[in-house]
Amino acid sequence: MPRQSIHVLFTALALGTACTRQHVSRAPTLSSARDVGGNITNVSFFSAALGVRKHALVYLPASYSRDATRRYPVAYYLHGLGGAEADWVAKGSIDAAADSLFATGTPEMIVVMPDGDDGWYTTWIRQFSFQTCADTLHVESPDRYCVEHERYDEYIARDVVQFIDSQYRTLAAREHRGIGGLSMGGYGALSLALHYSDVFAAAASHSGVLSPMYVGPHPFVAPPKYATTAEEIRPTTGFFLRYSSFWGSDLALWREADVAHAAERLLERKGAFPALFIDCGVDDAFVDQNRAAHAELTRLKIAHAYAEWPGAHTWRYWSTHVRESLAWMGQRIGP
């Protein structure tokens, strides 16, 4: 699949705690299609999985304040490595995209953007205490970045979801929950939806790091080749030391984390299967990983949407294409 080509491919395979809430952090977004847009609130809450308080931004559609009885589906959007909960608004304009889409008929949703640190939305095999983290230099202060237990998958799928359902008028059922993300968050979205399929009915990945075990060929040509030892992955990525904190040297743990393998395992368990959406820029360094995941899902006859558009691993790409995943999400988890 040449890098110079622009592909837009859509696969549709036929298969059969205490809360501290701050006031709105910005003025309502103006929309050309209606008087006002949605509101964004910064919230904090205690996570039992992480052992600390965490933060999130919550986007509420404009209609939320006008109808005190209406309940809404919820889409959770995860940030990438080095990011924070404000990224999807400050850099990705997800609120403006939601305002525009909801004004033109996309089912309205609450959009939640939790802080995921650099946790890769997984449970680490090497657990570091809050103090160990605090004694290490980070861009963010320890109270915003460090945790007692690195259980970031349980944090998102259990703590964040339960908090949002307890504080907002949500449609608190799997069928009305979706999860999306970019890069590290794209991996997190698909991995969480496949490992917690009782919680999420849809998952969308923008430029996700979907196949950490993929070692070639480059550019991608089927069939994909995967590492047979953890050390074989070291020269293929700058994230190896980070990955080792998550999955160690046990290839079985790496395989369990792989999106396509998680999908295959879910099929074997005959669990409820989430709808899947994957996109990536044709000039993105992770495009071969995305093509490998697409090839594996196709081989497994797992229905999914897949697209490649012009662009690289940048906010220009993500802010342009978040509309696609939001619209797709609304059609799948909307009332």
Tens-place pLDDT, residues 115-150: 999 999 999 999 999 999 999 878 889 999 999 999
| 81-87 mean pLDDT | 97
SS3 285: coil
pLDDT tens digits along 282-305: 999 999 999 999 999 999 999 999
Residue 2: per-residue pLDDT = 37
Q: Averaged over 141-168, what is the pLDDT?
A: 97
CA dihedral 160, 316, 194, 110 (to 10 degrees): 40
Residue 210, pLDDT score: 96
pLDDT of residue 123: 96
Residue 23 reports pLDDT greater than 80: no
Rounded Cα distance, 177 and 170, in Å: 9
271 — pLDDT class (breaks 50, 70, 90)? confident
Q: Which residue would you say has higher pLDDT here, 17 or 64?
A: 64
- For residue 276, the one-letter residue type is L
Residue 5 has pLDDT above 50, yes or no: no
Helix or strand holding residue 297 (H, E):
helix 287-299
Is residue 30 in a domain? yes
pLDDT of 1 higher than 60: no
In a domain, 5, yes or no: no
* Domain annotation covers residue 1: no
- 268-290 burial, b at 16+ Cβ within 10 Å, e below that, comes to eeeeebbbbbbbbbbebebbbbb
pLDDT of residue 291: 98
Of 270 and 20, the one with more pLDDT: 270
Asked if residue 3 is part of any domain, the answer here is: no
- Of 17-21, 203-207, 259-263, 312-316, the poorest mean pLDDT is in 17-21
Q: Does 31 map to a domain?
A: yes
Report the percentage of the chain scoring pLDDT > 70.
89
**pLDDT value of residue 177:** 98
Given a cut of 90, whether residue 12 has pLDDT beyond it is no
Give residue 302's domain range: 19-333
Does 273 fall in a domain?
A: yes
Q: What's the one-letter identity of residue 157?
A: A
Q: Give Cβ neighbours of residue 35 (< 8 Å, ≥ 6 apart).
A: none
pLDDT given for residue 27 in this prediction: 35
Could you tell me the pLDDT band of residue 36, with boundaries at 50, 70 and 90? low
Query: In the predicted model, is pLDDT for residue 103 greater than 90?
Result: yes
- What is the per-residue pLDDT for 138? 80
In a domain, 8, yes or no: no
What value does the mean pLDDT of the chain take? 89
Mean of pLDDT values over 103-107? 96
- CATH number of the domain where residue 264 is located: 3.40.50.1820
Tally of domains within the chain: 1
- pLDDT value at position 159? 98
Q: For 179-231, write each residue's pLDDT tens digit.
A: 999 999 999 999 999 999 999 999 999 999 999 999 999 999 999 999 999 88
Contact predicate 164/73, CB 8 Å: no
Q: Distance (Å, rounded) from C-alpha 59 to C-alpha 61?
A: 7
pLDDT of residue 139: 80
In a domain, 148, yes or no: yes
> Which residue has 């059922």 as its token pair?
173
On the question of pLDDT at 24 being above 80, the answer is no
